[in-house]
Amino acid sequence: ETTGRNKTVSSICCYCGTGCGVLIQSDGQRLTSVEGDPTHPANLGRLCSKGRTLADTTGKPGARLLYPEQRLAKDAPRQRVAWDDAIETAADRIAAAVAQHGPNSVAFYLSGQLLTEDYYVFNKLTRAVVGTNNVDTNSRLCMSSAVAGYKATLGADAPPACYEDIDQADVVLIAGSNMAYAHPVLFRRLEAAKAANPAMKVIVIDPRRTDTASLADLFLPILPGTDVALFHAMLNVLVWDDLLDRDYIEQHTEGFAKLKDRLREFTPRAAADICGISEEDIVTAARWFGRAGAALSFYTMGLNQSAAGTDKNAALIHLHLATGQIGKPGAGPFSLTGQPNAMGGREVGGLSNLLSAHRDLANPEHRAEVAAIWGVDSIPAEPGLPAIELFEAAAKGQIKVLWVVCTNPAQSLPDQALVRRALEKVDFVIVQEAFAGSETLPYADLVLPASTWPEKDGTVTNSERRISRVRAALPAPGEARHDWIIARDVAQALEARLRPLRPTLFPYDDGSQVFAEHVVTTAGRDLDITGLSYAVLDEIGPQQWPFPAGATSGKARLYQDGRFATPSGRARFVDIGYRPVAENVSAQYPLRLTTGRLRDHWHTMSRTALVPGLTRHVEEPVLSLNQRDLDRFHLKNGDLARIKSRRGAIVLPVEADDNLRPGMAFLPMHWGGAYMAGNGVNALTLGKVDPVSRQPELKHAAITLEPA
Ligand code: SF4
């Protein structure tokens, strides 16, 4: 819509997976305002502090990368280069690595903040042209345990519920999620639903008494990593109190009898000891859940960022299967996506073990299907490296070219010392990035400046499977280009070297063509969107998948007919035991460190740090811990402490916080090198991964303190 010089564009907030609709006003050169879009079903006009201040994140002098830059030696300064030269250099270096060391010497590390179109082109470039599956993303740090948990139990990576269920639930269980900070608009909706229905019970499970816990009727401050024991004990109570939906178990699931045997170990008494909470509270939580008319669970990083993340997800989903609390209004297990498009990335196969449209790389038929759609002979069968293993391989010198896109691994991956060694070891590091302050930039041999919100155009999928159009409101600054266009151009330059004389696999002039090809890959799959196109989305607005050809609307809830995406059509109970955290506390490292978000910051703060109003909420990182631990380490509020783990140390002020039990400490995840003498919180965390999801245990590390 245009009035005079002013233009209003409807788009999506670029921060969290809630996926709020925004109306962006601009005068063509700069943004004049960003408001919530009252017509978008995700937020109905609401925005949180981050979304409301989006206009202030644009037009900041010095904030953006404007031109491609290259350095000719690791110790030389980078110089500005022309785009054509940058593209040719990237293609030359990749082709040379493939020729000398094989395709697996090249790796791509992408981001859940890319648009679906960006993701699609990078995946095709990696697998169809370079010939490797070494394409992983920071979604590995975010949602891969949720993916694995859904697949283990329900058979497909598909969150079954929708945001409307918040208004219809009468028990809401929130596990390992500080929704009040990380998904504020959904939390506001939950607060409103509870105000409208005072009988609603909210159960919050978190080692820390967060702002989310302030809404709880029952708060379970479990010890980190003990979720499986808690969920098993709740299921045990459901069995003993006869609160199961036996018909549902009988007709729609398999594996319950075996799991039931295992539950004998997990009495409320035994779980109370493991979890550090009372037996009565476990019984109460189970009874509320079991007696609910409609029970809804929200969960995110507290379950996912764990060396037992897949099991934690599965154990929570078991509660829903055992009580039939799935596929009906107000009910279901509901993973909250951290990043704005972690869902869209998964849909196009944006993890090293996946392929387009929720296909599995390990499945030969799936590889053949994707090869046929792309018009290539085959997709390489050898598994690609997931994020942590990718950087471990790089540290060993096995990766010769690493292309990092729209993410900041030098700060955001665990065990920073290892990650930085890896970035130094790689022969040629390409960093494709919008912001000039990324901690990963010093490692770049080639910098490719990218456009970002509000310059980009494409699609994203939010936590409730809703695909929305992202629309550009401003031109990209300097010479910055869209991510998928950079990928397309390097892909075509590589084709000239690696598949000469064949028609290009990347004949795209416009994002709508990329989306249309993605749509083709989904035909007949669980996320079939053959009824969607940019034109349809523009006409009828954001839609939930599946949306097959002929549909007039998407599907609000999945599995309403009790049929699941497993070979038998039955959901699965998985026989899983409880495993403690990967790095337990010891006499030398006696404190349990957990990490998390603050309300007003996002990831490594490339964008939110540009807004003074957001920085005021919490101005600097502080280690929070119980007063008894301050006393034990002879520290007072505001003292500087050296915080040490087995992998590194940082110096920060400490503060007493009675929201943490003795023995627990909390650090926000956002701050990096500039604030902490080169190190951020991930100098302390460890890269131990879940055996299935390969997601690292960012939520727990053993630490100690000494006065600094
Ligand atoms: Fe943006 Fe998430 Fe806030 Fe919505 S809740 S405005 S998507 S940060």
Mean pLDDT, residues 550-566 taken together: 96
Residue 466 pairs in a beta bridge with 544
pLDDT tens, 520-542? 999 999 999 999 999 999 999 99
Lowest mean pLDDT among 428-442, 566-580, 583-597, 664-678: 664-678
Q: Which atom of ligand 1 is nearest to the CA of 186?
A: 5
pLDDT digits (tens, 9 = 90+) for 599-654: 888 888 888 888 888 877 777 889 999 999 999 999 999 999 999 999 999 999 99
Task: Identify whether 454 is preceded by a cis peptide bond (ω within 30 of 0).
Answer: yes
- Are the beta carbons of 160 and 546 closer than 8 angstroms? no
Question: Cα(530)–Cα(520) distance, rounded to whole angstroms?
Answer: 7
Positive/negative CA dihedral, 236, 242, 248, 251 = positive
Question: Rounded to a whole number, what is the distance in angstroms from the first to the last CA of the chain?
Answer: 57
Domain 591-707 bears CATH identifier 2.40.40.20: yes
Please tell me the least confidently modeled range out of 130-134, 179-183, 282-286, 339-343.
Answer: 339-343
Which amino acid is present at 69?
A: E
46 lines ligand 1 (CB under 6 A): no
Our answer on whether the CB atom of 47 is closer than 6 Å to any ligand 1 atom is yes
Classified by CATH at the fold level, domain 2-57 comes out as N-terminal domain of TfIIb (2.20.25)
Neighbours of 445 (CB within 10 A): 23
The region that residue 587 occupies, defined by phi over 0 for left and psi between -120 and 50 for alpha, beta otherwise, is alpha
CB of residue 391 inside a 6 A radius of ligand 1:
no
Q: Is the CB of 470 under 6 A from ligand 1?
A: no
Identify the bridge partners of residue 6 per DSSP, sorted by sequence position. Answer: 3
User: Contact, 110 vs 126, CB < 8 A?
Assistant: no
Tell me, what DSSP letter sits at residue 700? Answer: -
What spacing in Å lies between the alpha carbon of 35 and ligand 1's midpoint? 11
- CATH fold group of domain 69-142+341-507: Rossmann fold (3.40.50)
Whether 614 lines ligand 1, by a CB cut-off of 6 Å, is no
Of ligand 1's atoms, which has the minimum distance to the CA of residue 22? 6
Contact 230, 220 (CB under 8 A): yes
Alpha-carbon distances, residue 576 vs 140, 170, 249, 315, 573 (angstroms): 22, 29, 18, 8, 9
Predicted confidence at residue 4, as pLDDT, reads 55
Pocket test of ligand 1: the residue of 18, 163, 463 to mutate, having most ligand atoms within 8 Å of its CB, is 18
Query: Would you list the domain boundaries of the chain?
Result: 2-57, 69-142+341-507, 152-336, 591-707
- DSSP run (H or E) holding 654: strand 649-656
> Could you identify the atom of ligand 1 that is nearest to the CA of residue 184?
5
Measured between alpha carbons, how far is 555 from 383 in angstroms, rounded to an integer?
A: 33
Residue 3 reports pLDDT greater than 60: no
Residues ≥6 apart with Cβ < 8 Å to 82: 68
Residues in the chain, overall count: 708
Q: Give the residue, out of 12, 13, 49, with the most ligand 1 atoms within 8 A of its beta carbon, to mutate for a pocket test.
A: 13
Domain covering 152-336 in this structure, CATH number: 3.40.228.10
Ligand 1 atom closest to the Cα of residue 16 is 2
7 pLDDT tier (thresholds 50, 70, 90) = very high
Closest CA to 155 of 622, 605, 572, 485: 572
- Region 587-600 average pLDDT: 93
Give the pLDDT of residue 360.
96
Please state the atom number of ligand 1 nearest to the C-alpha of residue 49. Answer: 3
Nearest atom (ligand 1) to Cα of 340: 7
Q: Is the pLDDT of residue 1 over 60?
A: no
Q: Average pLDDT over the chain, rounded to whole? A: 95
Q: Is the dihedral of CA 212, 213, 217, 218 positive or negative?
A: positive
Using a 6 Å cutoff on CB, does residue 259 contact ligand 1?
no
Tell me how far apart the alpha carbons of residues 163 and 296 are, in angstroms, rounded to a whole number.
10
Q: Which of 23, 34, 183, 188 is the best mutation target for the ligand 1 pocket, counting ligand atoms within 8 Å of the beta carbon and taking the most?
A: 183
Mutational pocket test of ligand 1: of 47, 461, 463, the residue with most ligand atoms within 8 Å of the beta carbon: 47
Question: 393: Cβ below 6 Å to ligand 1?
Answer: no
Least Cα distance to 9 among 17, 1, 18 occurs for: 1
Nearest atom in ligand 1 to the alpha carbon of residue 47 is: 6
| Residues linked to residue 469 through DSSP beta bridges, in sequence order | 459
Q: Please state, in angstroms and rounded to a whole number, the distance separating the CA atoms of residues 460 and 656.
A: 40
Distance 25 CA to ligand 1 centre (A): 18
Which amino acid belongs to residue 385?
A: L
Contact at 8 Å (CB) between 579 and 694?
no
pLDDT tens sequence across 153-170: 999 999 999 999 999 999
Residue 50 Cβ inside 6 Å of ligand 1? The answer reads yes
For the stretch 181-240, pLDDT in tens is 999 999 999 999 999 999 999 999 999 999 999 999 999 999 999 999 999 999 999 999
Strand pairing category for 359-360 and 253-254? unpaired
